[in-house]
């Protein structure tokens, strides 16, 4: 039985991430926490500065926090290049908002999408607990509004579906407005047109 050296595994992971980054591909895999959001935001902003071609965001995100999702939604609204999401596996909870606000959204054939209300633990005095609950409620309303705008739904409908923990098949997610298409063998997938930003010298036009 061969035991892999953790250092070798890490080197392979770093090489893969660098290779994907050079192709303008970034990944959101695993829980969406503050660290994941910070790392992904830095990658998106760097690629935005390096060129005008679209960025592909590959997603497999089973859970996440409201704060991390909202911070990524803000970054996606600020970058000047199109971001195309390709989701496989699971996109559950607050991560649905990240998927929903991308410029183009494709789901693999067996992707599970689920709207859920956030889970939270509060600690402190009664006053502190009340303040934390108010902050969470405000973040949740903002997240529902993001999803509602992207899906052309009402905030109330999104909130009710999340309260019910609604699951979507890929086709149902497309019909709801959370995605644009399902990747199939006969799918006709196009890259988004490049949005050129800035100015070029006259001699280069």
Confirm or reject CATH 3.90.226.10 for domain 8-184, answering yes or no.
yes
Q: What is the pTM of this model?
A: 0.79
Q: What is the reported pLDDT for 137?
A: 86
Q: DSSP states of the chain as a string?
A: -PPPPHHHHHHHHHHHHHHHHHTTEEEEES-B-HHHHHHHHHHHHHHHHH-SS-EEEEEEES-B-HHHHHHHHHHHHH-SS-EEEEEEEEEETTHHHHHHTSSEEEE-TT-EEE---------S-HHHHHHHHHHHHHHHHHHHHHHHHHHT--HHHHHHHHHTT-EE-HHHHHHHTS-SEE--TT----PPPP---S---GGG-
pLDDT of residue 5: 56
Question: For the segment 33-80, what is each residue's pLDDT rounded down to a tens digit?
Answer: 999 999 999 999 999 999 999 999 999 999 999 999 999 999 999 999
Domain map (residue ranges) of the chain: 8-184
């Amino acid at each position: 039985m061969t035991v892999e050296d953790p250092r070798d595994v890490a080197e392979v992971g770093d090489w893969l991430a660098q290779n994907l980054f050079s192709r303008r591909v970034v990944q959101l895999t695993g829980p969406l926490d503050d660290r994941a959001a910070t790392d992904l935001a830095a990658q998106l902003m760097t690629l935005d500065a390096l060129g005008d071609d679209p960025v592909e965001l590959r997603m497999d995100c089973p859970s996440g926090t409201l704060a991390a999702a909202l911070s990524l939604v803000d970054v996606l609204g600020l970058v000047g290049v199109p971001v195309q999401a390709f989701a496989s596996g699971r996109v559950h909870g607050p991560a649905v908002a990240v998927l929903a606000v991308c410029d183009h959204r494709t789901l693999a054939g067996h992707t599970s999408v689920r709207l859920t209300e956030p889970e939270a633990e509060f600690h402190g005095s009664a006053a502190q607990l009340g303040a934390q609950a108010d902050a969470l409620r405000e973040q949740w309303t903002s997240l529902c509004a993001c999803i509602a705008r992207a899906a052309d739904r009402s905030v109330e409908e999104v909130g009710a579906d999340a309260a019910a923990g609604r699951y979507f098949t890929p086709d149902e997610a497309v019909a709801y407005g959370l995605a644009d298409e399902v990747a199939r063998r006969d799918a006709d997938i196009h890259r988004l047109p490049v949005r050129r930003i800035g100015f070029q010298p006259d001699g280069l036009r």
